[in-house]
Amino acid sequence: MGADLGAAAILDRFLALCGATTTARCAFSAGSPKATRDRFDRLMRRLREHPVGTWTYGKTVDDVVSGLDIAHPGWTDLAGRLQDLWRGRVPRPPTPLPAPPVPNPYTGVEQAGAILCSDSPNPRDPGVYHALEEASALRAGDTGRFWTWAAEPCATWPAVAADRYRGPWNTPTAHPVLVIGTVYDPATPYSGAQAMAKELAHARLLTHHGYGHTALLNPSSCIKAYESRYFIDGTLPPAGAVCRPDTPPFSAPGPSGGVATGGGARAGLVS
Res. 222: pLDDT tops 50: yes
Q: Locate all alpha helices (DSSP H) within the chain, ordered by sequence.
A: 3-19, 33-49, 57-67, 74-86, 110-119, 129-140, 142-151, 190-199, 214-217, 221-233
Q: What is the mean pLDDT of the chain?
A: 89
pLDDT of residue 159: 83
**Residue 267 has what pLDDT?**
34
pLDDT tens profile 85-135: 999 999 988 777 666 566 666 667 788 888 888 878 899 999 999 999 999
Sheet harboring 259-260: ordered strands across?
177-184, 203-211, 242-243, 259-260
